[in-house]
Structure 1
């Protein structure tokens, strides 16, 4: 008889293999898939927890998709869940890259594969826009002028003034930490 915990590990392996295999375009594309399977279908954590995990995954070193799958696995089944989720998320990319590197000349010259990759770029852009809209709407719902103004300020800093994203992210983190610290001091 297979225990409930073991079934959970197998589900994590299967779902992370599936998500990693069929999502192209980076970590932001994984977020809607995690939302669909972990939040909407299984209700393993809330939408707010997903946004928090996506923020942590983005600001942590490494690939966002791997970080998010690891955090999701940890949230669902602890350290073992994090481990199996991380391995399952890495495995399809490893296999695909090994195949592509082996047959690179054939892939590079094939017009059908080039057309498929261009089509994927369009769908990736749509998923990223969906994720950005979701995050912006959550920030605006906070009804904090500072956080709301951070959205256009970060965009302008990157797009108009070409300030490095790491600097923008660091400044935003500093402002948010200062905001939390000041709020905590006021409550004392």
Structure 2
């Protein structure tokens, strides 16, 4: 990790925006126990990530409603009221993103696991998502992190030199995969820690 960093690649959810289905379903269910059961058994992370990989929302809903017909309305709300799953931007991270974008020393991209059908909704909700020099959206490409092919895609599409780049993600598994593909990585925990980790790589903000 001693190479000169010239490219910064951001994950989005959990790094620049705070997304959690909990925020929506606490408005729907009356107890935390109900919320936890629903998100652990019905609209699970494994179900959601298939939309990030390219499955349509209509197909996803059909599959899950067939499995849990009692919860058909609550299942549909996952995407009907998807915007309510955000608490807002992670402001200090967005400040870092904006400063890097203004620097002549760095190219700044995003690599996100995100449904193709909600991407435009997200960009409307958070205009700073439009500021990147380029974005790889997993649902549009029908491939997702942490599989090698999506890292190779961003490297090739934007002519990135892996050893001169750094990838920031709150999911540790995704950072391990980036490292495997030759990209320096930072496991995001807080914006303050991110600033320190970037400074260790001699990234000037």
TM > 0.5 between the two?
no
- When the two structures are superposed, what TM-score results if normalisation uses the length of structure 1? 0.26
Structure having the higher helix fraction is: 1
The structure showing larger relative contact order (alpha-carbon pairs under 8 Å, at least 6 residues apart) is 2
State TM-score, norm by structure 2: 0.25
Query: Highest Rg: 1 or 2?
Result: 1
